[in-house]
Structure 1
Amino acid sequence: MEPVIDVFAQLYRLGYPIAKMRTVDHYPGAEDELSMRDNNTSAFNCRGIPGSQSWSYHAYGRAIDLNPLLNPYIGRSGAVEPANAGPYADRTRTDPGILHAGDPAVLAFTGRGWAWGGDWRTPKDYQHFEQP
């Protein structure tokens, strides 16, 4: 728990804007898509990896999605999640809260050994950080 507190303390010191942070059970059926559409930063969610038989790192409390509307998941086919995040698939945008490689907010996680989905070749998961 302390490594997560340290990361968020650093994000706070950096002035990184987090739109909101609620547990996913705040959304009907603990629906991840609804949480993401609402730009809700979240962590624990007992769910599988979409299209897989495996549990997500979120199910183990080892992953965090940061401002998911601004930092969408872009699948192999180019599909964007959440569904309303199409404009934010343009990674040349510089809106506050959008994550880019080398940003201090990204380094707050990766400098502590977390993996960032924005570094993945495909799919890209700009919102996603996980502890391997």
Structure 2
Amino acid sequence: MIFLFSVAVLLIAFFAVRYYIFYGGKRDIQSETAAFTVTAKDIAAEFAADVNNSNKKYLEKPVVITGTITAVEGTSVILDQLVNCNFSDVKPSFKVGERATVKGRVVGFDDLLGEVKMDQCNLITN
């Protein structure tokens, strides 16, 4: 009886951990309300001034950022040379020099390059 109970608990734990690994971390950022709306220059300046407080404020939150597209590299779009937005697919409408508003999740700050990193990005306007 104890053996069967132990096996059942282990199976439940195994499938719960497996489910969390495969499905637990995925969020639909685009359906969430943006926690902040800022410019690329403002958010980069905040991170450069105080990374710890900026991480507490922005990390893992949906943010809307506006800036000028300075580069398109594969699936990444760089705004004002300060915010690196990673898209699942780059739309052909991205053109260097245009203003764009992007919504995505802030995943960190690269202090070596001075860039705010975002993923799950989606173009709102350009």
TM-score, structure 1 normalization: 0.29
Q: If each structure's strand is expressed as a fraction of its own residues, which one has the higher value?
A: 2
Structure having the higher Rg: 2
TM-score, structure 2 normalization: 0.30
